[in-house]
Structure 1
Amino acid sequence: MIVRKQLDYALARLFKGKAFIILGPRQTGKTTFVEQLLARINKKTLYLNGDDTDIRESLAKPNATQIGQLLGDHEVLFIDEAQRLTEVGLLIKIIVDRFKNVQVIATGSSAFELSGKINESLTGRKYEMMLLPFSYSELVKHSDFLTEERLLEQRLIYGSYPEVINDPTNAEEHLKLLADSYLYKDLFALEEVKKPLLFEKIVKALALQIGSEVNFSELAQLVKADQKTVDKYIGLLEKSFVVFTLPAFSGNVRNEIKKNKKIYFYDTGIVNAITRNFNPIANRNDVGALFENYMIAERKKYLEQNQIEAEMFFWRTTQQQEIDYIEKQQNKLLAVEFKWNERSKEKIPTTFTQAYPQTETLILSKSERNTFLNDQ
């Protein structure tokens, strides 16, 4: 079994008088993560699943007396799919405030729903963590560096969701099922998406232009929708951990692009499932974009797993000078260009280095990704 890197982080934050909330996409192993966590602490645990109708009904209006009867002598309350409970924020707040010997652990697959319900109620009462598909660092630790080097093309095509890693023979089937049945389950169930066919058109359009700047007005014209609907649906995709956005970086250069965005998927396997393109890398013309998405998504996992606060950007000027990735940690800047072709002559534009002379710069090929994605 692959050990998740954040396990020690989570263990260190239990029984500190706060709830522990685990967010992330569906099917990334949140329940398994909590089971590994519970096995380490060996405490009497009450398990509730927010998908169960009777649980939702019985906890629709939580109060201290009812909760006390429910908890009994349990030391841990594990709420799976917590976003499905109507008053989950109030429920957790009562337990944290009134039942101080009980540790609440809750998982949720929809940030837009769970975070909205817990943030006001649980200010100062929770630790929060995001669990994403397996990271490069976790996979290297489980096997070894050379194995992951050999499997890079497979990772670009099929990604690193736990089910795909554990059963690679049926990876394509797993990904199609995930993309068709699970990815948008919360959005459709809550009727946040009034036009499912339009929603799917937007998702596919984004998957076909990873690595490119997204013009929301042009995208709206492409899918024959108004821009407000496109904005809303992309926001929902972000909140349900399907995609994330990189804004444009700007500072000292007059002709820098300031308003545009790039949108990336958390997992390249999902990109290919949406576009139904599982062709080998040698037969594809989008490998550069896939590699860029892979590297930026893996860097996002690295930052999350190491609790590093950083802002992520891309950079471009109106003269088409560009940099794939800019990272800002406090006052430090890192500029990175990714190159799939080892022979290509990528470089950081002089305009950028002159405007931001203290910036660390990297040109990373596929064989050099370990320095960027793994603990050194």
Structure 2
Amino acid sequence: MIQRFLLEELLEKLNHSSKIILIYGARQVGKTTLVKQLLSQVPYKSLSINADEEKYNDVFSSRDLTKMRMLTDGYELLFIDEAQRIPDIGINLKILHDALPELKIIATGSSSFELANRTQEPLTGRTWTFSLFPISFSELRQQQNLFELNHGLETFLRFGAYPDVFSLPNQVDKVQFLTQLTRSYLYKDILELSTIRHPDKIKKLLQLLAFQAGSEVSLNELGNTLQMSKDTVASYIDLLEKAFVVFRLSGFSRNLRKEVVKMDKIYFYDLGVRNALVNNFNTLDFRTDVGQLWENFLVVERLKNNAYQRRFVNSYFWRTYTGAELDYIEEADDQLAGFEFKFSDKTAKPPQSWLEAYPNSDFKCINRANYWEFI
């Protein structure tokens, strides 16, 4: 069992707060396993339900306090799995929480946009909200030393970090799992819970984004390729972000005349998913996209670490029209830090134009010799 960073914080919130706990995350990242582990460490008499079961769905969409009281009577903690499947879940949880503030409530959802839309307004001020990602490199560091982690780095870049990947015994099983995941299961909620006019184009869009991972993405070019408007492409990317499949970085600028900010970079939350979409699980020696994999790996692992450590930063990339660029920028407390990524052990110096524009900023080259300090 890989210890998840969220466990300790969830324990603290559960024991010392009366607020509802919401846990978002993509399918198969381990939300249910995490909550079950949490429940095994607390003394509360718990009722665990799956929102896919109609009998529970009816009760928690009813707005009927009597029904909800009857179901939860005698229990100290209620766990609702896949809560986004319950109509009006937010208002029903508000009714239950306000009437029974002593009842502890945990709800998970595999699709942030639907659960957020259904809970955001009714539950304002009543929740603690967390995001669970695929296994992070820093979580693995709790169980493995740097020698072991370095030895397994290529596997991380090829097959990603979904919990199932670590338990499957061989490459064939890993590939099969990731292939099945990306065919429909990963974005099942998007197709079921959102109005998609061209569902067949979701995967085509994902494949195009996978080939361009870490590159600036033109919505116009994607729209032309998919024969859709750029606004439709933008809305689909937004849904994929909210379903924890991809995320974007914007260009950083305080001087719009010199710096490129019109296009975003797209990254994947999991490299196994990305590689399944392009159907390439080859070893790194036989790949031409190692730089893309390395950049995506570092950016997403930094994102996970920042989220788990509650470091609130703004993240960007930086490029000028003259060609100077930095792979990654962080802004926190009005302080800038720039990073350049190298898959080899080589180092790099900051672009002169970066130093001139932001003389008080920090800079660091992240390579194979020091990457664990960054993530």
> What TM-score do you get using the length of structure 2 for normalisation?
0.96
Tell me if 1:313 matches 2:316.
yes
Match of 2:328 among 306, 322, 325: 325
| 2:365 corresponds to | 363
- Partner of 1:370, secondary structure, is helix
Q: What are the residue-to-residue correspondences of 1:102-121 with 2, within 5 Å?
A: 102-121=103-122
Q: Distance in 1 between matches of 2:306 and 2:13?
A: 19
Deviations 1:67-113 (A, max 9, x none): 11111010000000000000110121122211011110000011110
Distance 1:120 1:326, change over 3 A: same
What SS does the corresponding residue of 1:157 show, helix, strand or coil? helix
- 1:261 counterpart = 2:264: yes
Distance (Å, rounded) in 2 between the aligned partners of 1:41 and 1:264: 37
For 1:297, the aligned partner's letter is: V
Structure 1 unpaired stretches of 5+: none
CA contact 2:20–2:128 (8 Å) conserved in 1: yes
The count of residues paired between Structure 1 and Structure 2 equals 372
- Asked if 1:4 is matched to 2:4, the reply is yes
* Matched letter for residue 27 of structure 2: R
Alignment of 1:145-156 (within 5 A): 145-156=146-157
Question: How far 1:177 moved relative to its partner?
Answer: 1.3
CA RMSD across the alignment? 1.3
Kindly state the Cα deviation for residue 155 of structure 1 after the two structures are TM-superposed: 0.5
Instruction: Please give the alpha-carbon distance, in whole angstroms, between the structure 2 residues aligned to 1:161 and 1:95.
Output: 34
Match of 2:56 in 1: 55
Aligned match of 1:285: 288
Query: Is the Cα–Cα contact under 8 Å of residues 114 and 193 in structure 2 kept in the other structure?
Result: no
Secondary structure at the residue paired with 1:250? coil
In 1: Cα distance, 2:322 partner to 2:371 partner: 29
Contact 1:339 1:364 in 2 (8 A): yes
- 1:145 partner amino acid: L
Structure 2 residue 184 is the aligned partner of structure 1 residue 173: no
Q: Distance in 1 between matches of 2:169 and 2:220?
A: 39
Map of 1:69-148 to 2, 5 A cutoff? Answer: 69-148=70-149
Encode CA deviations 1:151-170: one digit per residue, 9 max, x unaligned.
11110000010000122512
Deviations 1:261-320 (A, max 9, x none): 001000111100111111111000000011000000000000111111111100000111
1:300 aligned residue: 303
Report matched runs for 1:342-353 at 5 Å.
Answer: 342-343=345-346, 346-353=348-355
Deviation at 1:181, TM superposition (A): 3.3
User: Is 1:149–1:367's contact at 8 Å kept on the other side of the alignment?
Assistant: no
CA distance in 1, matches of 2:169, 2:161: 10
Distance (Å, rounded) in 2 between the aligned partners of 1:124 and 1:329: 25
**1:330 CA displacement:** 2.1
Which stretches of structure 1, 4 residues or more, deviate above 4 A after TM superposition? Answer: none
Q: Does 1:222 align with 2:225?
A: yes
Q: TM-score, normalised by structure 1?
A: 0.96
Q: Distance in 2 between matches of 1:296 and 1:352?
A: 20
Deviation at 1:42, TM superposition (A): 2.4
Cα pair 1:324 1:337 within 8 Å, conserved: yes
Residue 258 of structure 1, CA deviation: 2.0
- Does structure 1 retain, via aligned residues, the 8 Å contact 2:61–2:92? no
- Structure 1 residue 253: deviation in Å? 6.5
Query: Do 1:108 and 1:114's aligned partners in 2 also have CA atoms closer than 8 Å?
Result: yes
Report SS of the residue matched to 1:21. Answer: strand
Q: Give the match for residue 197 of structure 1.
A: 200
Q: 1:49 to 1:290 in 2, by over 3 A?
A: same
Residue identity in the other structure for 1:112:
F
Identical pairs, percent: 39
Asked whether the 8 Å contact 1:20–1:127 carries over to 2, the reply is yes
